Copies of this chain bind each other. A is one copy, B any other.
């Protein structure tokens, strides 16, 4: 023990370290304003070379980030659908999840909602076409079939509902709405649900 290494311990940089640092930078400054040099600094290594141990290029970092986020969201939504019967309950819990994430992990939500993924990965699907948001649309679809939600096109209903939710979260994330997401949640839910419910 030649030196105090209780905190300064030098552990090798992992993939997750790179992802975490990149997520933060991408969501703060945007993908194109973030250089590998920035990432390397945030991760705490001296050159960018170390990053290429884990990712073949800069795009691959964004890809990994995006698919990680979508996967974990998808799993959460599966879980929600399993635990709840009614569409209203399922949507309610999904909204709850998104608002919580906005307060607890704003970088994730900023990356998901603010960063324009098609500008980074032109080949990638739109948000609506990804697994988790497909599932949300399916929840809405079911709600229409069983009469909870009024009979309009499921995508259009998704559009109204999620338009309100997403805009609320974006305004919180950008600071245009100054309080926590949590404090807007119940109102936003009521209005969003009200916009598609069968009266």
A163 to B165, CA, bound (A): 8
Closest to A195 in B: B191
A187 to B153, CA, bound (A): 11
Contact between B30 and A119 (Cβ–Cβ < 8 Å)? yes
Chain A contact residues: over half helix, strand or loop, or mixed?
Answer: helix
Closest to A187 in B: B156
Contact between B163 and A32 (Cβ–Cβ < 8 Å)? no
Chain B residues with Cβ below 8 Å from A176 are 126, 128-129, 155
Contact between B171 and A167 (Cβ–Cβ < 8 Å)? no
Contact between A160 and B30 (Cβ–Cβ < 8 Å)? no
A114 CB-CB contact with B under 8 Å: yes
| Given A119-B33, A195-B194, residue A155 in contact with residue B177 (CB < 8 A) | yes
How big is the A interface, by class?
A: 35 or more
Minimum Cβ distance to chain B for residue A76 (Å): 22
A157 to B191, CA, bound (A): 10
Minimum Cβ distance to chain B for residue A123 (Å): 13
Chain B residues with Cβ below 8 Å from A177 are 155-156, 159
Minimum Cβ distance to chain B for residue A169 (Å): 10
A-B contact pairs, 25 of them (CB 8 A): A29-B122, A30-B116, A30-B119, A32-B119, A33-B119, A115-B116, A116-B116, A118-B174, A126-B174, A126-B175, A126-B176, A129-B176, A152-B187, A155-B176, A155-B177, A156-B177, A156-B184, A156-B187, A160-B168, A160-B191, A163-B166, A163-B167, A164-B164, A167-B167, A195-B195
Residue ranges of A at the interface with B (Cβ–Cβ < 8 Å) = 29-30, 32-33, 114-116, 118-119, 122, 126, 128-129, 152, 155-156, 159-160, 162-168, 171, 174-177, 184, 187-188, 191, 194-195
